[in-house]
Chain A
């Protein structure tokens, strides 16, 4: 009896159980990384600026995220009297939910055999996986725009307007840079894309895997830059530029609602790193096709790639000053978008010639 893919039709009880387990584990791990990414960022930036960062709570400040969480939890929850209530309450959720939903399509390991069933190590494998990610990335704008508008404050509104303009502009370049990957992989399913990256590099080099970052270095750079702009990180943190806009779109927020914005920022960072790792860096597969390295379970490699990219983002934050708004717009439309389009054209030509 050949093992078959576990689905709702062939074993409903087991399917629901495994699904719940996968959901809980992925959600828990993401939330844990979110909490400790804040600590890590403060430590990393601290040491880069020859400071120590948090030291007081726990060993080297390890309990700092818990202390922060507790503090924000017990703060007074202020809703400005002049704000528009419903969008004001909805905005923090509308920014966090798209970020967390996207994690569902990231594969984190090879298929497992359990009795007669194959269990994929991925919450769900959509055959439009990448489009799903792009669609939900687009929905993330609403949270920021609504937060800015509903607060009824000039700083928040300016932050929201800036954010929406920035995210709309950079979404295009991000989407176009991913198109080059589709053209090589000829599939939209992330599972298939990872499987293809485990083959030999360009069909010749037997121990280096065929990661798309080797064939598409430009697309990778474009995706990282536009991804940073999409999630409003330094050097593109225009929407919350402290020196000019107080705190941008989340100026009027306090307590857990503010914490949700904070969590969303780090969740977005994890998501962008996970997508970049899956599309360009081989997902959960090992960096070299050597037996010792491929023995290590897939989720370890995926997490290591995510952490490396997140460290890179923190490093960027400690290194670069914020770009000016007109520079940001000019770069998005006049540099990144044409480059992404040219990359699509060149990739198409090469694919046709090689066929």
Chain B
């Protein structure tokens, strides 16, 4: 049951990922990307990570893609005919084949040994996924969390400085 569902969602994810790069209009590509993000959120739910799924939909599909769509609409890229690039096809397909080979190699090389560490499926279900992430973020990974927030602050200040004519 679950494996059938997985393949169904995976098919949708791959097809919409394909549409992202093949659509003529940038708006349709953006919609394809939204769909891909949504499928990824479904995978998170299937992996017992509902918090990640909600954040995936909220941040990627709900916020970032809306901004991208906004920019595409304002620039009105949809109407102009795009040039077709052909000279890069050989190299890019070679590179992607190599990446595919890498992925398959590393997946095949790894050995699944079973659950390790304190965080097990049982614990996720009894304590709650959100609580576990919160605890980990504010105790064990506090420094990376703070560094990321400083980074975001710098980005916001930078955006304001760039957008403002006189500071």
**Residues of chain A at the chain B interface (Cβ within 8 Å):** 84, 86-87, 90, 126-128, 131-132, 134-139, 141-142, 145-146, 148-150, 157, 160-161, 164-165, 168, 171, 188
Contact = CB atoms under 8 A, between A and B. Distances in A.
Contacts of B51: 128, 131
B145 to A, nearest CB: 17
Given A135-B57, A138-B63, A139-B61, A161 B130 contact: no
12 contacts: A84-B25, A87-B27, A128-B54, A131-B54, A132-B54, A135-B62, A138-B62, A139-B62, A145-B73, A146-B31, A149-B69, A160-B73
A139 B73 contact: no
A137 B54 CA distance: 11
Given A87-B31, A145-B70, A127 B54 contact: no
B73 A141 contact: no
Contacts of B28: 84, 86-87
A175 to B, nearest CB: 8
A149 B66 contact: no
B50 A128 contact: yes
B58 A161 contact: no
B34 interface: yes
Given A127-B129, A149-B73, A135 B66 contact: no
A276 to B, nearest CB: 19
Contact of A139 (B27, B57, B78, B130): B57
Contacts of A148: 73
A160 B72 CA distance: 13
A131 B27 contact: no
A125 B143 CA distance: 34
B107 to A, nearest CB: 30
A168 B67 contact: yes
A245 B106 CA distance: 56
B66 A145 contact: yes
A164 B66 contact: yes
Interface of B: 25, 27-28, 31, 34, 50-51, 53-55, 57-58, 61-63, 66-67, 69-70, 73-74, 78, 128-130
A136 B62 CA distance: 8
A164 B67 CA distance: 8
B124 to A, nearest CB: 10
Contacts of B63: 138, 168, 171
Nearest to A137: B62
B25 to A, nearest CB: 7
A273 B69 CA distance: 29
9 A-B pairs closest in CB distance: A138-B62, A131-B54, A135-B57, A135-B58, A128-B50, A149-B73, A135-B54, A128-B54, A141-B66
B69 A145 contact: yes
B70 A164 contact: yes
A166 B127 CA distance: 37
A127 B130 contact: yes
Contacts of B27: 84, 87, 146, 149-150
A131 B58 CA distance: 8
Given A138-B58, A139-B61, A149-B27, A161 B73 contact: yes
Contacts of B62: 135, 137-139, 141, 171
A95 to B, nearest CB: 13
Residue from A84, A135, A136, A160 whose CB has the most chain B CB atoms within 10 Å? A135
